Structure 1
Amino acid sequence: MAEAAQAVEPQNWGPRGTAGVSFAASLEFDDICVELGGRPVLDNFRLSLRPGEIVCLLGESGSGKSTALRVAAGIQPVSAGALRINGELMSAPGRTVTPDRRGIGLMFQDYALFPHLSVLQNVLYGLKRLGRTAALEQARVSLRRVGLAGRENDYPHQLSGGQQQRLALARSVAPRPGLLLLDEPFSSLDARLRETVRDETLAVLRETNATSLVVTHDPEEAMIMGDRVALLRQGRIAQIGTAAEIYSRPVDLAAARFLSPLGEIETAVRAGMAETPLGPVPAPDFADGARVTVAIRPVGGARIAAQGPGIPGRIVSRRDAIGIDLFEVKLDGLDVPLGIRQPADGALRLGQDVSVVLNLEHVLVFGRD
């Protein structure tokens, strides 16, 4: 059945700009604390979303990001702090306004579709407060936008994974909520579908203008989708900013490691420079003798060429990733080969001697505690 559904899955979403527009809401987490099983999951968690903003909450498993979403949804009570939507108190110790009174749309990782209801009935479920005619109109607008207009009478089990995700999205935006909450919305999709579904979902979020909080563990996904990205660590925001801000100026080495792989060199600072086998790296914020870690990103941090100026190295591993070459290069003075990703070049071969040049724009320096 799944194979059959996949074979007939429509490839085209509906025309962009046709999703219904919402009245965007503000969302504020004010020193929220949540304990589960005697363990703090959210610890004085603070985060504010402006109306119409898309914020991606990024973190490792167990960092508290899904719990934060559940607090916003009214599913998880809090032990301290306050949550407000449009300035109105929704959660506080001893007070939890129910989800249906918060003006929110929810899209969970498993989609939470009703198996006994048809595609159309799933979308109509959240439109009970409207008259029958208005509810049908809004439901069908949402289904057309996600490319499921021809599947109204089918049931969720007859849809592929990608179609189920579309249905979950249509159901969440059909009531035109001021606030949308999405929990790992693309994690169950295969790589072939994920990029297209993510891009179209982002387009729908922009069209609705709903304030959106998206939970993800994927840094690339967060940086593509979010107006801002909030990096969550042990129940608190470790860093928040635009994708460019957190990528170019991560708050610490742990944040940099989470955002991308790194080649790391432990060294010391002399006269404002961190000495490395690839040459000196500016470290103006560190005193002489300070122990630091120089972090080199695989993408853009260094480049290799068959000849020319640079530090000599040797290619000890080479893999082709569809137009991108993944290299490991051995250099004197480094215990671990340096990872480098750059556009494919047939002139570079395994075992070849090459020149390596740093791009200081993608090299970071962190103090060693």
Structure 2
Amino acid sequence: MKPLVELDSVSIELGKERIVEQLSFSLNEGDIGCLLGPSGCGKTTLLRTIAGFSEVASGAIRLYGEEVASVKTQIPTEQRQIGMMFQDFALFPHLTVEENIAFGINTWSKTDQKQRVQQLLQRVDLAGYQHRYPHELSGGQQQRIALARALAPKPKLMLLDEPFSSLDAELRELLAQDVRNLLKEEGITALLVTHDQQEAFAMADKAGVMYAGQLLQWNTPYELYHQPEHELVADFIGRGVLLNGQIQSHQLHSALGVIDHEVLCDQDDHDVTFLVRPDDVLIVPTDQPHRLQAQVVGRGFRGSHYLYTLALDNHEHVLAVGPSHQPLSAGQMVGINVDFDHLVVFDSNICQLPD
């Protein structure tokens, strides 16, 4: 399948500062991609460059198989068939819901405009709201109208810049799934920028983690979580800790004891760090068989469960989950076992960016 979006070694400068460095990825037609990363990593600048608001310093951007941006090419934004949705929604306060949605299709016939507006209001579950004004809507409703307006011209590509950041956490997750379903129904390829991994997990077919202008990994959300290729990806995606260890005779020696795993079969003896997720650590009563003991040094209530911080004998910490109806107390000793379905080992305990 030919990519609908393709970035080839793209670098971006603002003033004399290099914001994005040699970044490459592609997104197939109908897929939803997501760029994750902390504030200031370059993800919004990259999105704006794909839209045509900024120019590339080197490399090329191709949309629908055609080059739209390079050192020699800069296709105007209005010719790129792109829809955009911003974090502040940017609805026109003096226009009704119907007029906001129809803003980008005002060259269509009145009949076609009305039909498209009614279709989108049905899809965003706001039928009957066409005569209201933005200030009469809740934040979630405004978000849906902003999405409907961006979808109205039937763009080939939708760019979403932190579209849920002003909403509360529960509403963000609900709307993220709703937006994914709507984009899939419309058959629109989309690229989302966010710092919230739950949004990425709810929406994305492919996701990437950016740091300091570089793309550290581009894969499915599942692979980012279970098979991170860089310490910074492991640290950013999901909850977990990096422990120190040594590989000796194809076994991993650490504060969790000696671990055998197939990924160690071709590893030479050396110092490593390895990723431990809460689902890798099982808390068991001390009167049952267990690998070693740990002390509860912290806990966070999560409704159905507690997330515990456990101190090992060498004072390194791991995370583990336990049911909320059987809470453990700070200072309590517990037994733990470990079970690594995915053992992720890094060659160094120093987080370095790739060359």
Does TM, normalized by the shorter one, top 0.5? yes
- 1:330 correspondence with 2:311: yes
1:109-132 per-position Cα deviation (integer Å, ceiling 9, x unaligned): 111211221111111101123111
**Is the partner of 1:34 in helix, strand or coil?**
strand
| Cα RMSD after superposing both structures | 2.0
**How far did 1:200 drift?**
0.7
Which range moved further: 356-365 or 32-41? 356-365
- 1:127 correspondence with 2:127: no
1:108 corresponds to which residue?
86
**Is the partner of 1:207 in helix, strand or coil?**
helix
Match of residue 302, structure 1, among 258, 281, 295: 281
Aligned partners of 2:204, 2:93: CA distance in 1, in Å?
Answer: 32
Aligned partners of 1:262, 1:165: CA distance in 2, in Å?
Answer: 33
Aligned partners of 1:347, 1:118: CA distance in 2, in Å?
Answer: 52
1:139 corresponds to which residue?
117
**How far did 1:97 drift?**
2.3
2:265 corresponds to which residue?
284
* Contact 2:61 2:70 (8 Å CA) reproduced: yes
* Contact 1:27 1:85 (8 Å CA) reproduced: yes
* Contact 1:266 1:292 (8 Å CA) reproduced: yes
**Is the partner of 1:280 in helix, strand or coil?**
strand
Aligned partners of 2:9, 2:310: CA distance in 1, in Å?
Answer: 47
**How far did 1:80 drift?**
2.2
Aligned partners of 2:107, 2:334: CA distance in 1, in Å?
Answer: 68
Match of residue 259, structure 1, among 237, 251, 254: 237
Question: Which amino acid in 2 is paired with 1:303?
Answer: L
Q: Which runs of 5+ in 2 are unaligned?
A: 351-355
2:195 corresponds to which residue?
217
1:82 corresponds to which residue?
60
- 1:339 correspondence with 2:316: no
- 1:321 correspondence with 2:279: no
Match of residue 142, structure 2, among 156, 161, 164: 164
1:247 corresponds to which residue?
225
**Is the partner of 1:274 in helix, strand or coil?**
strand
- 1:63 correspondence with 2:41: yes
1:360 corresponds to which residue?
340
**Is the partner of 1:141 in helix, strand or coil?**
helix
How many pairs were matched up? Answer: 343
Q: Which runs of 5+ in 1 are unaligned?
A: 1-23
Question: Which amino acid in 1 is paired with 2:293?
Answer: P
**How far did 1:50 drift?**
1.2
Which range moved further: 203-212 or 269-278? 269-278
Which of 1 and 2 has higher RCO (CA within 8 Å, sep 6+)? Answer: 1
1:215-267 per-position Cα deviation (integer Å, ceiling 9, x unaligned): 11122321331111122233232211112222221112121111123233212
Which range moved further: 182-191 or 143-152? 143-152
* Contact 2:173 2:202 (8 Å CA) reproduced: no
**Is the partner of 1:130 in helix, strand or coil?**
coil
Structure 1-normalised TM-score? 0.87
* Contact 1:25 1:179 (8 Å CA) reproduced: no
- 1:274 correspondence with 2:255: no
Match of residue 99, structure 1, among 64, 77, 82: 77
1:309-329 per-position Cα deviation (integer Å, ceiling 9, x unaligned): 111223233332110111122
**How far did 1:363 drift?**
4.2
Match of residue 178, structure 1, among 145, 156, 166: 156
**How far did 1:81 drift?**
2.4
Aligned partners of 1:286, 1:220: CA distance in 2, in Å?
Answer: 34
- 1:45 correspondence with 2:26: no
Question: Which amino acid in 2 is paired with 1:302?
Answer: V
* Contact 1:305 1:348 (8 Å CA) reproduced: no
Which range moved further: 36-45 or 341-350? 341-350
Structure 2-normalised TM-score? 0.90
Which range moved further: 335-344 or 157-166? 335-344
Aligned partners of 1:50, 1:280: CA distance in 2, in Å?
Answer: 43
Aligned partners of 1:25, 1:263: CA distance in 2, in Å?
Answer: 36
2:353 corresponds to which residue?
none
**Is the partner of 2:341 in helix, strand or coil?**
helix
Distance 1:129 1:95, change over 3 A: farther
Aligned partners of 1:163, 1:336: CA distance in 2, in Å?
Answer: 46
* Contact 1:25 1:52 (8 Å CA) reproduced: no
